[in-house]
Amino acid sequence: MVIKKFNNSQNEHKDTLVCDHDKKGLITDESRGEIICGPCGQVLSDGISSSDAKPRYTLDNFLANSQTGPKSSLTVYDRGLSTIIGARNVDFAGRRISSDIFSRFKSMRIWDSRSRSKNTTGRNLIPALIVLDGVKQKLGLSSTVAEHIAFIYRKASSFGLTRGRGTTEVMAASIYAACREQGIPRSLDEVSDALNVTKKKVSRCYRVLINQLDLKTELANPLDCLSKFCSLLGISEKTKRHAFGILKQANSTRVLSGSKPAVICGGALYLACIVNDEYKSQLKIAEKIRVSAPSIRNAANVLDKLPVRIN
């Protein structure tokens, strides 16, 4: 397993794992933002940019090449349904308009710009969607997930939950809630680091969204982050299958119900490494998956008592 670094317009100096198999066997999971090797199952890269992002054009180029407007989207402030008054002071034939019409259009442009942010909710929505557009590429989220995030934020804004709270905090909580609902393995640490917000503020705002908006988030499954952690630690496929059996048995018996998925996965990986003679210390596993070593030790002690069947 080799580690290479590359430069991208969206991701700078990001580590990418490259295995020895043919590149034709690579599988791109756009919903999770991961590139997976088909033969061995290693996660070669995570947090990739969504491939459904389209190039941006100027308004003049778009109107010249299209006879229809852009599709409606919740990630745009006005959902793409607004009327835009052109900045050019010419008529349909290209002739310059008179001074009376010019002053009338100037007044219409001023009122149009003011109507876009006529209330506090609208003024907060514009920077929030700008933040979403930037963090979407950083976390490797697809357009479908971004639409769901924008829906949650708009709903929170309509309920008045953005008052007294930072725009970035509410957006971070909306991102984490949408990832939980869609089953995408993005931890609270990853979301808080991407938006440069403390984990405590994001978790507090997330609880408010769950209670006030009645969101039905699914329980996090430790199996969702197994492939990612195995790639970070450089664990073999045999050890990965053993850890999968441990986690599968833990889910069926619910012995660690309520614990963090990363902690359960780390304890299973630690036990699997011991059985398959791969030396991975608890401290190294804890550093890679960003949990504490004592929590992994406690989880490993509980998981060690389960009967595990490896296929």
**Does residue 62 fall inside a structural domain?**
no
More confident residue, 309 or 237: 237
The answer for residues whose C-beta is within 8 angstroms of residue 24's C-beta and 6 or more apart is none
Q: What is the pLDDT of residues 194-253, one digit of tens each?
A: 999 998 999 999 999 999 988 887 777 888 888 888 888 888 888 989 888 888 888 888
**Does residue 206 fall inside a structural domain?**
yes
For residues 204 and 128, membership in a common domain is answered with yes
Task: Tell me if 259 sits within 8 A of 219, measured CB to CB.
Answer: no
**Does residue 203 fall inside a structural domain?**
yes
For residues 208 and 126, membership in a common domain is answered with yes
Domain boundary among 156, 186, 213: 213
State how far the Cα of 168 lies from the Cα of 132, in Å rounded to an integer. 9
Phi and psi for 161 in degrees, rounded to 5?
A: -80, -10
Distances (CA, A) of 157 to 124, 126, 150: 9, 12, 10
Average pLDDT over residues 252-264: 81
Domain boundary among 61, 96, 115: 115
> What is the count of structural domains for the chain?
4
Q: Cβ–Cβ contacts within 10 Å for residue 283, how many?
A: 11
Sign of dihedral through CA atoms 29, 34, 39, 41? Answer: negative
Distance of CA 216 to the CA centre of its chain: 18
Max Cα–Cα distance, the chain, nearest Å? 86
The answer for residues whose C-beta is within 8 angstroms of residue 79's C-beta and 6 or more apart is 72, 73
pLDDT at 9: 42
**Does residue 125 fall inside a structural domain?**
yes
For residues 104 and 136, membership in a common domain is answered with no
Closest of 5, 48, 13, 4 to residue 29, by C-alpha:
48
Domain boundary among 196, 213, 230: 213
For residues 207 and 127, membership in a common domain is answered with yes
Q: Which of 90-104, 171-185, 239-253, 268-282 has the lowest mean pLDDT?
A: 90-104
**Does residue 58 fall inside a structural domain?**
no
Q: What is the pLDDT of residues 14-72, one digit of tens each?
A: 444 556 666 667 777 766 677 888 777 777 776 665 555 445 555 556 555 655 555 67
Residue 1 pLDDT > 60, yes or no?
A: no
Per-range mean pLDDT, top range of 20-24, 178-182, 252-256: 178-182
For residues 228 and 275, membership in a common domain is answered with yes
The answer for residues whose C-beta is within 8 angstroms of residue 193's C-beta and 6 or more apart is none
Average pLDDT of every residue of the chain: 78
Domain CATH code at residue 144? 1.10.472.10
For residues 232 and 258, membership in a common domain is answered with yes
Using pLDDT thresholds of 50, 70 and 90, give the confidence band for residue 8.
very low
Task: Tell me if 293 sits within 8 A of 286, measured CB to CB.
Answer: yes
**Does residue 88 fall inside a structural domain?**
yes
Residue 15, H or E segment: strand 12-18
143-157: burial string, b at 16+ Cβ within 10 Å, e else: eebbebbbebbbebb
For residues 228 and 294, membership in a common domain is answered with yes
For residues 96 and 170, membership in a common domain is answered with no
Average pLDDT over residues 284-307: 87
The three-class DSSP label of residue 203 is helix
For residues 95 and 155, membership in a common domain is answered with no
For residues 208 and 124, membership in a common domain is answered with yes
Using pLDDT thresholds of 50, 70 and 90, give the confidence band for residue 169.
very high
For residues 137 and 187, membership in a common domain is answered with yes
**Does residue 185 fall inside a structural domain?**
yes
For residues 128 and 204, membership in a common domain is answered with yes
Domain range for 277: 222-303
**Does residue 103 fall inside a structural domain?**
yes
